[in-house]
Copies of this chain bind each other. A is one copy, B any other.
Amino acid sequence: MVEHNGVVLVLSGPSGAGKSSLINKIADDIGEYYFSISTTTRPMREGEEEGVHYHFVSKEEFKKDIAENNFLEYATVHENYYGTSLNPVREALNKGKLVIFDIDVQGNTAINNRLGDITTSVFITPPSLSELKNRLESRATDSKEVIENRLKMAKREIQRTSEYEFLVINDDLDIAANVLRQIAITARLKIPYDRINRFVQKWENI
């Protein structure tokens, strides 16, 4: 078989869909992975940690990285920048890791444009908007306003579910984890175009 290579798993879906719980459930079964941490210029909030929730940088640093083409993708939301640095992703891919992104619908488009050959995309959603509302309210970490915003965003994002290869409805956590585990393990089997091309070139001559 062709030697091992890094691949990408994009997870999108509303905050409250259960992405983190699902990743925790399958983490031991999907081999070595790297969870991509986004970079942002927004201020650190209480309870957040540098390098865990985000890499926090100044606007100047962010703009410099844009100019130097250091982002796989970036976007502005409410005058703050959010982006994914290319270097750690490239490094993880070179080590043959599964790189997992928790990223929005726009981010998925950007990643597919750059790394579509090795990317598997999954949209994760709670079974209904009312269930999402319940979950966000019961975890009690967000203000009413933040919850309203998350629900509005969820309504917009779910309209674009069909841009993903897979839709996982997280109703029962164990069932959803079984589905996502299956998808993540198969995601490993994608082979990058450049490696395919090298194989094809060799193919006629050995």
Contacts from A to B (Cβ < 8 Å): 1-2, 117, 125, 127-130, 155, 158-159, 161-162, 165-167, 169, 171, 175, 179, 182-183, 185-186, 189-191, 193, 196-197, 199-200, 202-206
Contact B129 A169 (CB under 8 A): no
Give the residue name and chain of the B residue nearest to A159 (CB): B200
A64, B162: Cα distance in complex, Å: 35
Neighbouring B residues of A196 by C-beta, 8 Å? 161-162, 167
- With contacts A117-B162, A128-B206 taken as known, whether A179 is within 8 angstroms of B169 at the C-beta atoms is no
15 contacts between A and B (CB under 8 A): A1-B179, A128-B202, A128-B206, A129-B203, A129-B205, A158-B200, A158-B203, A161-B199, A162-B193, A166-B189, A167-B199, A169-B199, A182-B186, A185-B186, A186-B186
Neighbouring B residues of A166 by C-beta, 8 Å? 189-191
**Nearest-CB distance from A4 to chain B (Å)?**
13
- With contacts A117-B162, A166-B189, A182-B189 taken as known, whether A204 is within 8 angstroms of B171 at the C-beta atoms is no
**Nearest-CB distance from A166 to chain B (Å)?**
6
Neighbouring B residues of A179 by C-beta, 8 Å? 1, 189
A162, B175: Cα distance in complex, Å: 33
**Nearest-CB distance from A120 to chain B (Å)?**
9
A9, B120: Cα distance in complex, Å: 17
For the complex of A and B, 5 pairs with smallest distance between CB atoms: A186-B186, A128-B206, A129-B204, A162-B193, A162-B196
Give the residue name and chain of the B residue nearest to A184 (CB): B186
Give the residue name and chain of the B residue nearest to A161 (CB): B196
A157, B51: Cα distance in complex, Å: 46
- With contacts A162-B196, A182-B189, A190-B166 taken as known, whether A203 is within 8 angstroms of B125 at the C-beta atoms is yes
